[in-house]
Structure 1
Amino acid sequence: MNYPEEKNTYIDGIPCQYLCHVEVTKKAGTVFPAHYHYYIELLYALSGSFLVYLNGTYHEFSAGDMVLINSREVHQIDATAADGGSYICVRFLPDLIYNGMSQSHFELKYLLPFVTEQPDYEKVIHAASLSDSLIPELMNEIIRESEQQNYGYELAIKNDIGRIFLWLLRYWQKSETEPLLVNQTDLNLQKQLAPALTYMLSNYEKPILATEMADLCHLSYSYFSRSFHRLMHMKFNDYLNSIRIREAEKLLISTSGSVTEIAASVGFCTTSYFIKLFKEQMYVSPKQYQKLLAQ
């Protein structure tokens, strides 16, 4: 069955890294029909009882429980109590935790349980497990920061999401679920590709060929290409260009260099190709991006 994709939300052409609100329903029934999106989603029930459908399985959750919905995971939410209920909904892009460009690629292992299909760990964490944790406070704090919008609230919300993310990882590890070890193949690939990933992060402004990176990793070109796509969920050149685009973003808002100068400094051979890729990824031109962030 094909399910509708809910597209990312944009403000002034820039993707929102996170979205949060309190969902309130007054009666039993479907709150959101089956769909999926790129965002990782967290639900924290404040009142009532609900069913969440996650890729073919229904899970119950009620006041005090938290639900994790992976990136691109098909889900539907239904209220089961006659008088409805409410829950906090926090959605955030995987890039908020790990963008692959400004952080060590070794941190990718922490993101894998949130973006891949791994059925062996808890998706609904019940109130009893959360009662002595900071999760209830952090979820409510995210909503308060979003509503009050005091100076630096964006940083506060990102920090709170990061703390929840870390709590989940440690909770799974302590409960011996160990989601990070579920996909041993991907962890092995990460070690094999580490020399190439490290080199790309440090030398993105230089001409870099996939064949050269395969040699650096002592792998055949075909095996390297297949493995790279499996691990990074994109082709080699797409990943390299993503690094360059992210570095160009920083230069566009922190220097007075022209678009042509910035394109060349991050490794693009032509300005036109840089502008084309930038618009594909950011939905605005480099010049428009500069103007939006200068406002």
Structure 2
Amino acid sequence: MTNASIEEKRFTGGISQHPFASKSFDTKGLGYHCPPHWHTHVEMLYVTRGRGTFHAGGCAYTAQRGDLLLINANEVHSVDVRPEDDAEYLILSVVPEVLYHSGSTIFEAKYVLPFLLGNRQHIRHFQAKQLEDSPIPGLLADIHREYSEQRYGFELALRSAFTSVFLWMLRHWIDNDPAQTGFPAFNASSLDNIKPIFEHLESRYKENLTASDAAELCGMSYSHFARCFKRITGHSYVQYLHYRRISEAEKLLLTTSHSVTNIALEVGFSHTSYFIRHFRALKGLSPKQFVLRARGQ
């Protein structure tokens, strides 16, 4: 079975292939383990009863009633609930690109990139006390109701509610990061200029493509490309390439029995030690520790 089919099989149970989705999951006091998996949309888990442990980005988060957890696109995550914790939670998902306005896709991309690229500095576990005076609980309830009832125009209502949730998170992050590090800042033409390299790395991330090669692919000088790429992603081209490769390595670590050395080679790293060093820098732990933590060991 391919990685893609594993990902699809693990995700699609109970959630439709719609750009928006919401469902309530009740463990019914039986305990529950959702194995490590990933998907291309952004997901929010909102605990409405009990508590559970959610693993994402190499970290474990214990969430209880009223807590919200954000799962970025393409991020490996898993769930563990003990029988005595008897949890129920909402699973709300959205394909972030659908939040763009059709007339200004490039301009609004800067607001969605933080949810696609991920940033370990951004808060992902929002506790109930942080949300009690915010519009978030009401917005999440609206999303679940609109998706469940699917009355005329529900897609517009869902887009509006998800956009409001994203906006609240972005402003919350900025309020807690006055320097606004890790937030893209670019004009309407910048992303269009470097779009070819994003498309190239989507499937050919393992190739040995240098920053100079990437600049040439985009028809730009090296210095212009480097400045533009940094402005848009908040990272250098090499840092982004490492992020892309390590994101793929996460999936292989959890869905295959391949050795760390083989996985390093499969995703484009020429040396295991180099791979481990960058994996640790990005995830805060080694590949082996990542696997053990993701599996709750």
State the TM-score, normalizing by the size of structure 1.
Answer: 0.59
Aligned to 1:60: 62
SS at match of 1:52: strand
Once the two structures are superposed, the pairs formed by residues 252-291 of structure 1 within 5 Å of their partners are none
- Say whether the 8 Å CA contact 2:22–2:148 is kept in structure 1: no
SS at match of 2:88: strand
Aligned to 2:200: none
Aligned to 1:125: 126
Deviation at 1:87, TM superposition (A): 0.7
| Amino acid across the alignment from 2:148 | E
Deviation at 1:67, TM superposition (A): 0.5
Aligned to 1:194: 190
Distance 2:178 2:127 in 1: 16
| Amino acid across the alignment from 2:182 | V
- Say whether the 8 Å CA contact 2:190–2:228 is kept in structure 1: no
Pair 54,213 (structure 1): closer, same or farther in 2 beyond 3 Å: closer
Mark the runs of 5 or more structure 1 residues left unpaired by the alignment.
Answer: 201-209, 233-295
| Amino acid across the alignment from 2:138 | E
Is 2:27 the counterpart of 1:25?
Answer: yes
SS at match of 1:146: helix
- Say whether the 8 Å CA contact 2:52–2:85 is kept in structure 1: no
Identity of aligned residues (%): 32
SS at match of 1:67: strand
Mark the runs of 5 or more structure 2 residues left unpaired by the alignment.
Answer: 197-214, 234-297
Aligned to 2:38: 36
CA RMSD of aligned residues (A): 3.8
Deviation at 1:182, TM superposition (A): 1.9
Q: Which has the larger radius of gyration?
A: 1
Distance 2:157 2:126 in 1: 24
Aligned to 2:109: 108
Q: How many residues align?
A: 208
Is 2:165 the counterpart of 1:169?
Answer: no
- Say whether the 8 Å CA contact 2:42–2:93 is kept in structure 1: yes
Aligned to 2:99: 97
Pair 81,115 (structure 1): closer, same or farther in 2 beyond 3 Å: same
Structure 1, 131-140 or 76-85: larger mean CA deviation: 76-85
Pair 195,128 (structure 1): closer, same or farther in 2 beyond 3 Å: closer
SS at match of 2:168: helix
Pair 26,108 (structure 1): closer, same or farther in 2 beyond 3 Å: same
SS at match of 2:62: strand
Distance 1:212 1:64 in 2: 47
